[in-house]
Every structure is written in structure tokens, then in C-alpha cells.
Amino acid sequence: MGLKAILEFVKIEHTMFSLPFVFIGAYIAGEPTIIQLIWILIAAVGARGLAMALNRIIDRDVDSKNPRTSSRHLVSGSMSLNTAWSLCALFLGILLIGAWQLNMVALAMSWLPVLAFVIYPYTKRITWACHLWLGLCLGLAPAGAWLGIVGGDLGWSAITELHWYPTVFWISLGVMFWIAAFDLNYALMDIESDRQNGIQSFPARFGEQHTLRTSVQFTLLWFACFAIANPIDKVTFLGAALCMCLINMGVIIGQTRMADFQKAFFYTSVFTGWVLLGGLMAA
């Protein structure tokens, strides 16, 4: 199994969704060192790889029934289940090493994202709220990075004394709604397959028009969350959030007039996080 196949298996390009918010979480924690940022990045890569590998393993029966996903590695046989589990162990190790090098509180709390990753694939079998759960999984990214910085100095009081509230809480909640808005529209590609195979996605349950309206509402919600959080009262961050909120809503509302809406919305969503990071970092 080559490196290229492994990167394709875990959809490494999707890491671009969480990375800017990982750095936002680190930035609002204080002034992280280069070494801390490197270990945070390592832990984030491990977490992302583990999440995708677990999803591929647990969803392999679902993927086999969907024409869009029937060529994925485990379904097609181009990767064995043993190899997939080995990759899970590898990425878990990367996550734990990164968290351990940051501080012991971050290491002790690393069970939380792992549990969220394991639960996610099962949520789509029972509830349309699976999109929100996926958002929660990525919403842990800024919180984890923040803890990776402050946990060494504050210890467990960083959690128990609510140092994460309000800023980290509202940033993480905003990420949850942001990812959920994206995933609602991503699920439109599988609406018929989901209905036939009992997958409880929001589009399969409520239809395309309700999906469009709800994704716009979620977009407004993530803007509201970021506006409430507004780390260190940055006007540039608010401006970046408002700009990307309007662009995202424009893409969602105009999706029927686009030749390739999914591709356009993917790049718009990826761009959103990096623009927000730039707005936060701007002087």
C-alpha cells in the first residue's frame, strides 16, 4: 500500500477544513511557540486520519450500496480490512504522541474526539442530526488546540474552571454549524441512495428545498457564533466572518444555476476557514 493510496483513503485534502480552526484555537490560547504548533499539527493530522479511517471501516457496507462510493478502497478490495485497522492504530498513535508532547491534560482528554469519531458513522443510521454530530467532531479541533496550549500552565482548571467559556465554546459551536451546513449540501449527492438504503440524512428525510433553507439558517448561525466569540475583539475577524457568510449563502442559494455546485461549495467552504484565520491574525 503506497503513500498515495493511503492519502486517498483518508481524503487528506479534507484536512483543510479543520486546520485553520486548529490554528485559531491555538492563537486565542495565547502565543504558541513553533514547537507547540508543530505538535498541534501532528495531533490534528492523526485525529483527521483516524476519523476518516474509522468512517471508511464502519461504513463499508453502506458504501457498497451507493454507486458514488462503491469504488472506495475497502469496498473494491484495493485495501484489506486489516490494513485499514492498522492505519487506525497508526493515526491514533500520531494523535496520542502529539497530545502527549503538548501536555498531560491534552493527552488525558484525547479519548473525547476518538469517541466522537467512533459514534459518528452510526448516527447517520438513526437520525438526520448526523450532520450536526459531524460538525461536533470538527468543532473539537479549536478546543483541542486551545487545550494543547493552556493545559500545560492551567492544568485541569482549564476545563473545570470554564476557561474555555465563552470564546472557545462559541468558536467550536460555530465550527459545528459551519460543517453541518456544508455536509447538508454534500449529502444531496446521495439523496436517492440514502432513501433506498435507510440512511437518515437530512436531505433524504426532508427533501432538497428544506435542505437549502436549513443550510442557509446554519450559515447564519455559524456567523452569529463567531460574532459572539469574536476573539480579542478583532474587527477584521468580524469582517472576514460576514464576508464569508454572505459568499456561502450566495453559493447555496444559487446552486441550481451552477454547473458543479459541489465543487464550488467545497472550495468556498475550505476558503472560509482560512479567511477567518487571516482575519484573526490581521493587525
Predicted confidence at residue 234, as pLDDT, reads: 83
What are the cell numbers at 222?
455559524
- Residue 283 has a pLDDT of 55
Helices and strands per DSSP (H, E), number in the chain: 16, 0
Q: What is the CATH number of the domain that holds 197?
A: 1.10.357.140
pLDDT along the chain (283 residues), means of 10: 73 80 94 95 94 94 91 89 95 97 97 97 95 96 97 96 95 96 94 92 95 97 94 87 96 91 91 94 77
Residue 260, amino acid: D
If one counts the domains in the chain, the total is: 1
Which residue segment(s) compose the domain that 221 sits in? 3-281
Q: What's residue 7's pLDDT? A: 72
Q: What pLDDT score does 8 carry? A: 77
pLDDT for residue 3: 74
Residue for grid cell 498515495: 4
The pLDDT assigned to 1 comes to 62
Question: Is residue 15 classed as helix, strand or coil in its secondary structure?
Answer: helix
Amino acid identity, position 239: G
Torsion of CA 283, 271, 34, 47, to 10 degrees: 140
